[in-house]
Protein backbone atom coordinates (compact mmCIF):
# COMPACT_ATOMS: atom_id res chain seq x y z
CA UNK A 1 0.00 0.00 0.00
CA UNK A 2 0.87 3.67 -0.06
CA UNK A 3 3.48 4.83 2.44
CA UNK A 4 5.64 7.77 3.46
CA UNK A 5 9.19 7.63 4.81
CA UNK A 6 10.84 10.56 6.57
CA UNK A 7 14.34 11.04 7.86
CA UNK A 8 14.69 10.23 11.52
CA UNK A 9 15.17 12.99 14.01
CA UNK A 10 15.82 14.85 16.02
CA UNK A 11 17.35 17.45 13.76
CA UNK A 12 19.25 20.03 15.79
CA UNK A 13 20.28 23.31 14.17
CA UNK A 14 21.53 26.72 15.14
CA UNK A 15 19.41 29.74 14.32
CA UNK A 16 19.80 30.91 10.69
CA UNK A 17 21.05 27.51 9.52
CA UNK A 18 19.71 25.81 6.38
CA UNK A 19 17.13 23.10 6.91
CA UNK A 20 16.39 19.99 4.88
CA UNK A 21 14.03 17.25 6.01
CA UNK A 22 13.88 14.35 3.58
CA UNK A 23 10.62 12.69 2.60
CA UNK A 24 10.04 9.92 0.08
CA UNK A 25 6.83 8.17 -0.77
CA UNK A 26 5.41 5.04 -2.33
CA UNK A 27 2.09 5.30 -4.13
CA UNK A 28 0.29 3.41 -6.85
CA UNK A 29 -1.46 6.46 -8.28
CA UNK A 30 -0.74 10.17 -8.38
CA UNK A 31 -1.10 11.40 -4.82
CA UNK A 32 -1.07 14.93 -3.48
CA UNK A 33 1.72 15.62 -1.01
CA UNK A 34 1.71 17.66 2.18
CA UNK A 35 3.85 18.92 5.00
CA UNK A 36 2.19 19.43 8.39
CA UNK A 37 3.72 20.99 11.50
CA UNK A 38 2.91 20.14 15.12
CA UNK A 39 3.89 22.39 18.00
CA UNK A 40 4.11 20.87 21.51
CA UNK A 41 0.77 19.74 22.89
CA UNK A 42 -1.17 20.86 19.83
CA UNK A 43 -2.81 19.39 16.76
CA UNK A 44 -1.38 19.49 13.26
CA UNK A 45 -1.36 22.54 11.00
CA UNK A 46 -0.99 22.40 7.25
CA UNK A 47 2.33 23.98 6.28
CA UNK A 48 2.31 23.50 2.50
CA UNK A 49 1.08 21.18 -0.23
CA UNK A 50 1.64 20.17 -3.86
CA UNK A 51 -0.95 18.41 -5.96
CA UNK A 52 1.01 17.32 -9.06
CA UNK A 53 4.51 16.59 -10.26
CA UNK A 54 6.94 19.53 -10.36
CA UNK A 55 4.63 21.69 -8.24
CA UNK A 56 6.38 23.67 -5.52
CA UNK A 57 4.55 24.32 -2.27
CA UNK A 58 5.71 27.21 -0.12
CA UNK A 59 4.69 28.95 3.09
CA UNK A 60 6.45 30.94 5.85
CA UNK A 61 9.83 30.51 4.14
CA UNK A 62 9.47 26.72 3.83
CA UNK A 63 9.46 25.09 0.41
CA UNK A 64 9.04 21.60 -1.03
CA UNK A 65 8.97 20.39 -4.63
CA UNK A 66 6.99 17.36 -5.80
CA UNK A 67 9.56 15.17 -7.60
CA UNK A 68 7.85 12.26 -9.31
CA UNK A 69 11.06 10.84 -10.77
CA UNK A 70 12.60 10.42 -7.32
CA UNK A 71 9.27 10.04 -5.45
CA UNK A 72 10.38 12.74 -3.04
CA UNK A 73 9.00 15.85 -1.36
CA UNK A 74 11.87 17.24 0.74
CA UNK A 75 11.17 20.19 3.03
CA UNK A 76 13.65 23.08 2.98
CA UNK A 77 14.09 26.46 4.63
CA UNK A 78 16.96 28.80 4.06
CA UNK A 79 17.25 30.26 7.55
CA UNK A 80 15.52 28.63 10.52
CA UNK A 81 14.38 30.41 13.65
CA UNK A 82 13.92 29.19 17.21
CA UNK A 83 10.16 29.47 16.65
CA UNK A 84 10.41 26.79 13.93
CA UNK A 85 11.12 24.16 16.59
CA UNK A 86 8.35 21.57 16.18
CA UNK A 87 7.61 18.15 14.71
CA UNK A 88 7.18 18.05 10.93
CA UNK A 89 5.08 15.41 9.19
CA UNK A 90 5.15 14.52 5.53
CA UNK A 91 1.88 13.06 4.21
CA UNK A 92 0.20 11.93 1.04
CA UNK A 93 -3.42 11.72 0.10
CA UNK A 94 -4.83 8.28 -0.46
CA UNK A 95 -7.23 8.40 -3.35
CA UNK A 96 -8.86 5.12 -2.30
CA UNK A 97 -11.78 6.77 -0.51
CA UNK A 98 -14.76 7.46 -2.71
CA UNK A 99 -16.61 10.75 -2.80
CA UNK A 100 -13.52 12.93 -2.84
CA UNK A 101 -12.77 12.67 0.88
CA UNK A 102 -9.24 11.40 0.75
CA UNK A 103 -7.46 9.74 3.64
CA UNK A 104 -4.07 11.10 4.62
CA UNK A 105 -1.14 8.73 5.15
CA UNK A 106 1.57 10.17 7.40
CA UNK A 107 5.25 9.65 7.86
CA UNK A 108 6.61 9.09 11.37
CA UNK A 109 7.46 12.75 11.86
CA UNK A 110 10.79 14.55 12.31
CA UNK A 111 11.49 16.64 15.37
CA UNK A 112 13.34 19.89 14.72
CA UNK A 113 15.10 21.74 17.53
CA UNK A 114 16.57 25.16 16.73
CA UNK A 115 18.95 26.76 19.23
CA UNK A 116 19.84 30.46 19.50
Partner 1 sequence: DGGITQSPKYLFRKEGQNVTLSCEQNLNHDAMYWYRQDPGQGLRLIYYSQIVNDFQKGDIAEGYSVSREKKESFPLTVTSAQKNPTAFYLCATTAGGYGYTFGSGTRLTVV
Q: Binding residues for partner 1, per CB under 8 A?
A: 4, 32, 34, 41-46, 49, 51, 89, 93, 97, 99-104, 106-109
Nearer Cβ to partner 1 (41/116): 41
Query: For residue 10, is the peptide bond before it cis, meaning its omega torsion is within 30 degrees of 0?
Result: yes
Rounded Cα gap, residues 44 and 39, in angstroms: 8
Which residue, 53 or 108, has its beta carbon nearer to partner 1? 108
Closest contact distance (angstroms) between CB of 14 and partner 1 is 25
Specify the DSSP class assigned to residue 97: S
The nearest distance, CB 37 to partner 1, in angstroms, is 11
> Could you tell me which of 9, 1, 3 has the C-alpha nearest to residue 75?
9
What count of Cα atoms within 13 Å lies in the side-chain half-sphere of residue 25?
30
Collapsing DSSP states into helix, strand and coil, what is residue 99? helix
Pairing of strands 75-77, 19-21: antiparallel
* Closer residue to partner 1, CB minimum distance, 17 or 104: 104
When the beta carbons of 13 and 47 are compared against partner 1, the nearer one is 47
- Rounded to a whole number of angstroms, the minimum distance from the CB of residue 45 to partner 1 is 7
* Minimum gap (Å) between residue 116 Cβ and partner 1: 26
Amino acid sequence: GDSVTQMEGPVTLSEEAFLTINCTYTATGYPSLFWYVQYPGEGLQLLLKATKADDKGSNKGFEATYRKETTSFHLEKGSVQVSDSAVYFCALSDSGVSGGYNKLIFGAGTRLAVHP
